[in-house]
Amino acid sequence: MKTTALIPVKLNNQRLPNKNLKEFSDGTPLIHFVQKALLKIKKVDKICIYCSDDRIKNFVLEGVDFIKRPQWLDTNEAKSGDIIKSFIETIDSDIYVMAHATSPFIKEETYNAVITKVQTGEYDSAFAAKKLQNFLWFKNKPLNFTLDNAPRTQDMEPAYCELSSPYVFRKEVFEKYGGRTGENPYIHECTEIEAIDIDYLEDFVLADAVYTNILLKNCKEDY
């Protein structure tokens, strides 16, 4: 059973231009984090960076393949499903692991957990998520509590918010639903640090601070 990791990358980001190539304080570019993490995962047979811009080649690590994608996938109209469909038509696999460079702190054990759950057939898909156990509002109304009976947060039934990475899914799941999640997904709860996702400059500043002051000093993993 072949498992392929897809790292979709575009360099014309509007909110934070060239964010995937931005360097943290120690000189490590953002795009290296996800590659280093996936290279440790023995359950992955092939790792591909899927990008339309040849400049990314200078940032591709040994053991990772560069697959050039159509430029139209860099437009604002292109959706995640469009990128996956194009990649699947280019690289055939039984299972796909979609991992984004903008989630640099996903742990090795998280990747292994979500991949294993799908490889064993126990689940048809899997994703990482952040547990929400707090007062939630939607359209100006309480979502998970009532105004006259607000429980303690620790007693609330938790909800889960999908992270941007990673997603694991069988090929037939995408062919049936056109998305990354099937009817029987495994949800893996992640830490607050793993949940950091970079869209804006302040996100990058926060991630750099966490990396420099916490992970480099206290974590045994080589990020």
Percent of the chain at pLDDT exceeding 70: 98
Whether the predicted pLDDT of 139 surpasses 80: yes
What pLDDT does residue 149 have?
87
- The 10s digit of each residue's pLDDT in 78-136 is 999 999 999 999 999 999 999 999 999 999 999 999 999 999 999 999 999 999 999 99
- The 10s digit of each residue's pLDDT in 189-219 is 999 999 999 999 999 999 999 999 999 887 6
In single-letter form, the type of residue at position 143 comes to L
Instruction: Give mean pLDDT, residues 124-149.
Output: 93
**Residue 27, phi-psi category: left (phi > 0), alpha (psi -120 to 50), beta (remainder):** left
Whether the predicted pLDDT of 221 surpasses 80: no
What pLDDT does residue 14 have?
77
Instruction: Enter the DSSP assignment of 165.
Output: E
Helix, strand or coil for residue 215?
Answer: helix
Residue 70 in domain = yes
Question: Sorting pLDDT into bands at 50, 70 and 90, what band is 222?
Answer: very low
Question: Where in the sequence is the domain holding 202, given as residue range(s)?
Answer: 3-218
Residue 13 in domain = yes
Lowest mean pLDDT among 100-104, 156-160, 184-188: 156-160
User: How many whole angstroms separate alpha carbon 217 and alpha carbon 180?
Assistant: 35
Residue 223 in domain = no
For residue 102, the Cα-to-chain-centroid distance in whole angstroms is 7
Instruction: Give mean pLDDT, residues 137-164.
Output: 91
Q: Which parts of 85-135 are beta strand (E)?
A: 95-98, 125-132
Instruction: Give mean pLDDT, residues 142-148.
Output: 90
User: How many whole angstroms separate alpha carbon 187 and alpha carbon 184?
Assistant: 10
What pLDDT does residue 217 have?
80
User: How many whole angstroms separate alpha carbon 202 and alpha carbon 215?
Assistant: 18
Average of per-residue pLDDT values in the chain: 93
Question: Sorting pLDDT into bands at 50, 70 and 90, what band is 18?
Answer: confident
Residue 186 in domain = yes
Whether the predicted pLDDT of 150 surpasses 90: no
What pLDDT does residue 13 have?
82
Whether the predicted pLDDT of 220 surpasses 80: no
What pLDDT does residue 223 have?
38
What pLDDT does residue 219 have?
62
Give the residue with greater pLDDT, 222 vs 108.
108
Residue 150: how many CB atoms within 10 A of its CB? 12
List the structure tokens of 31: 């795009």
CATH of the domain at 19: 3.90.550.10
User: How many whole angstroms separate alpha carbon 186 and alpha carbon 180?
Assistant: 12
Closest to 99 measured CA to CA, from 174, 197, 214: 197
Number of domains making up the chain: 1
